[in-house]
Chains A and B, each alone.
Chain A
Amino acid sequence: MNGRLTDASPHESPYDSTDEGPDDPGLRAEGPGLRAGYPGLRADAFPAEAVRDRARRGTAALFPPVEAYGRTLFGAARTPAHTAPGADLLDALRLVPPVFMPRRLEKLIDLAREPMHHDVDLTTVVGALNSPLPAYLSAFGSTQVASADLGTAASRQAGRLGLPMVIGENVVPVNGYGRLGTAAAGDTERSLLGRIRAYLDELPDGMGGVAVQQSTEDADAEVWNLVYSDPSARPLLESGRLAFELKVGQGAKPGLGGMTVLNRAAAARVAEQYAVDDVLGGEERVLRCSSPGTFTEEILRQQIRLMRNNFPRARVWVKLHPGRDVRDAAAVAWSAGADAVTVDGAEGGTGWAPLGFLDAVGLPLGECLRRIGRPNGSLLASGRMWEGTRAAKALALGATAVGLGRAALLAVEEDPERGLTRLVEALALELRLLISALGKYEASALAYEDVWSAGTGLPHQDPSLATPLGTQP
């Protein structure tokens, strides 16, 4: 491992930093100094320290210091560390418990005692994969090529938790002619196999699953075909726990493809496959740009159908960037048979992207969810997810589950053995507290009625929207 994820120091690897995934640990994500003078979404840094705190202390980090108990007054004046009012609909919203709780009465009758937060059932079907809570592990970009250990540690912990996991190995196409896990294969392929293996080693029966991502340019390497025909993936395939995610775009740079900083020697090796721009100054580094791929309604529909045709035993996920027509795109994906649609909000990526894109391009996650409205299938939401309130608000706006990206990586870096586990335990407890406070006992029961903010039009007055959005009508 080459230092903390927030270091901007160069790595030894030829792949100094890539961006794939919303979820890459931004090499510069935390530097408010870097962002000074750039208004907008990105002005509030990702709360890395709070994430690390949860990775260290788990559920204890949900509460004020116990030493202060009985000696300090806590009130609403406290400025939440992780919100920046006005920047994002999700931040602007508050969760609003009612006084009268008919669903709590139902639960009381069911249990024959007063229900508690422990009674909240968080189990969720995430894109046809079972998860113990409404969350999954988002794709890590190849930024972690420099620290494959992190990806493996994250996989092991996710497996232990039974958390569905996306693998976004855009690096497969760059190296090698071989198959998974063979001597002829490149390091990155070994890391793809290594991650699947680490995950499977810990995975409880009947839970979790792996979604392998492929983008337009990855298609050259036939990542899906490779996985689908590889013996390593058989345990997943045979237990219905293998999914393929079609990557249409990502939050960090909607409308653009992947970008990677390469040294010149590495760039020469991939020049046949990728556009390489000499725009970074200096002698050593050049910019590799992937094409984003062209999509129309018909192209998206047919690509999904072809995935179902060619890989009938794999689940189909589709990942969208936060485009202004995200509602239409999600509708096309579901109607073509996608098991899940992932929406990656513009605040999502700290992926390596042009600064202008980070600051001013794409819809925030909350607006994406608002535009999509009642989802017609499993809707997965990623973008700055790490704690319960933001997750609960996303669920209330229709998401089935939320993706942990940067947060998971930071947690694993903080403690490769237990960091992610503690972060997820904290998330689960916080969700249980919140959902029970809203008088509900299933994650999927959250609805528009559970959120409010002045001027956002939420909650809707339409009584039909008081029913859960996250389940299919």
Chain B
Amino acid sequence: MLHITDPATGPAATDRLPEAPARHLTDPTTRAVVRLQNGVLTAARDFLRGHGFTEMLLPMIGPVTDPGVRGSKQVDIDYYGHRYKLMTSAILYKQASLLAFDKIFSIAPCVRLEPLETANTSRHLAEFHQIDVEVAGASREEILRLGEDLVRHIVREVTEHHAEEFESLGRDTGAFAELLGQSFGHRTHAEAVAELRDMGHDQSADAEIDWQGEAMLSAKSGRPFFVTDYPKGSRGFYDRESRDEPGTLRNFDIIAPEGYGELCSGSEREFEYARIVARMRETGENPAKYGWYLQMVREGIPDSAGFGIGLERFTRYLAGLDSVWQASAYPKVPGVIAP
């Protein structure tokens, strides 16, 4: 006989959970991490503004949000009697914003009720932020280079200006030598699958690199690397399908080394109306609920490419933290009741 888990008891197998807010906030580690995170944001803003980007404040609620999120549940809210969503990501508004500016970025909050099994991956939060970037007319290669330059700039800036924080966190900045000195590694999804299978890991060729597989690839690398060309069926409708190689997406992830895993996801975007509607169906979506977005797409939006860097994950990697929740002042671990 099986028993229903009481929702209040939360996940069973998390190694270490955040302490009460008063303890977490006064913990020297938290303070150092938040200061380091400030350095990340400052460096990101400086870099992007210096490259002609406009910072947008994007909506937190809307009638529809990014559906392309593996296994997680969206949060519904009652918006004057209409069912609205908290943003799981800002993707729809990123595309829309290109009607105003060619290059935009945003530090966007995201809420995803992740599956409970993610409580002990050390890298999932139900509430987090992304450094979101979108560029009209950019190709995958161009946006990928921008992502690499941005990551390198941030790491250079924080290692230069936050030595004290690294010191107090016990993080040796020598870990970033390869990142700062060499270009990022590169493998396609198919190559990553083959590599994992060679390592004895049963990775599906049709799906995302699973969390264990990602950790395995990450652990054996000394610098960040790209994984490109994910198969259709592993990502949301907005990742552009290759016109030359149907079934393959023009997208990428940046995977951090040392086992920290994915930092960033990006792609060229679908922007043509009929393709977007067909891709919505392929991802099981009901186009009817995307009314405002499809109307806009029908009238024409720029083709674009962009990415989002998970701010807390990036901070975790920089600070060398055990868990991503340590990179948040008010962490929400999936399934764990927290203020």
Contact = CB atoms under 8 A, between A and B. Distances in A.
Interface secondary structure of B, over-half rule: loop
Contacts of B116: 229, 231, 234
Given A229-B71, A305-B233, A234 B285 contact: no
Interface string B264-297: 0000000000000010011111101100000000
Interface stretch (B2-10, B101-109, B163-171): B2-10
B286 A222 contact: no
B233 A306 contact: yes
A237 to B, nearest CB: 8
Interface in A182-239: 182, 196-197, 200-205, 216-217, 219-220, 222, 225-226, 228-232, 234-237, 239
Contacts of A225: 71-74, 113
Nearest to A301: B233
B115 A231 contact: no
Interface residues of B, number: 44
Contact of A310 (B70, B117, B282): B70
Interface stretch (B147-155, B192-200, B206-214): B206-214
Interface in A240-282: 246, 272
A228 B69 CA distance: 13
B231 interface: yes
Given A299-B281, A310-B71, A177 B76 contact: yes
Contacts of B2: 200, 203, 235-236, 239
Contacts of A219: 284-286
A47 interface: no
Contact of B282 (A181, A216, A298): A298
B321 to A, nearest CB: 25
Given A202-B1, A302-B233, A231 B204 contact: no
Contacts of A201: 1
A303 interface: yes
A464 interface: no
A272 B291 CA distance: 12
A308 B234 CA distance: 9
A332 to B, nearest CB: 13
B77 interface: yes
A293 B232 CA distance: 20
A196 B3 CA distance: 10
A228 B71 contact: yes
A311 interface: yes
A236 B2 CA distance: 8
Contacts of A471: none
Nearest to B207: A309
A156 to B, nearest CB: 12
Contacts of A293: 281, 286
Max chain A Cβ within 10 angstroms of own Cβ: one of B1, B7, B283, B284: B284
Contacts of A311: 71
B83 interface: yes
B306 interface: no
B196 to A, nearest CB: 15
Given A229-B113, A235-B2, A235-B5, A305 B71 contact: no
A270 B9 CA distance: 34
A226 B3 contact: no
Contacts of B220: none
Interface in B65-115: 70-74, 76-78, 82-83, 113-115
| In the A-B complex, the 9 residue pairs with the closest CB atoms | A305-B233, A302-B282, A235-B2, A225-B73, A309-B207, A177-B76, A231-B5, A231-B7, A200-B2
Given A231-B9, A235-B2, 12 more contacts: A200-B4, A216-B284, A219-B286, A222-B73, A225-B71, A228-B71, A229-B335, A235-B4, A302-B233, A306-B233, A309-B233, A312-B71
23 contacts: A177-B76, A177-B77, A196-B4, A200-B3, A200-B4, A219-B285, A225-B73, A229-B334, A231-B9, A234-B116, A246-B284, A272-B82, A293-B286, A296-B281, A302-B283, A305-B206, A305-B231, A306-B234, A306-B282, A309-B206, A309-B207, A309-B208, A309-B234
Interface of A: 177, 179, 181-182, 196-197, 200-205, 216-217, 219-220, 222, 225-226, 228-232, 234-237, 239, 246, 272, 291, 293-296, 298-299, 301-313, 336-337
Interface of B: 1-7, 9-10, 70-74, 76-78, 82-83, 113-117, 204, 206-208, 210, 231-234, 278, 281-286, 288-289, 334-335
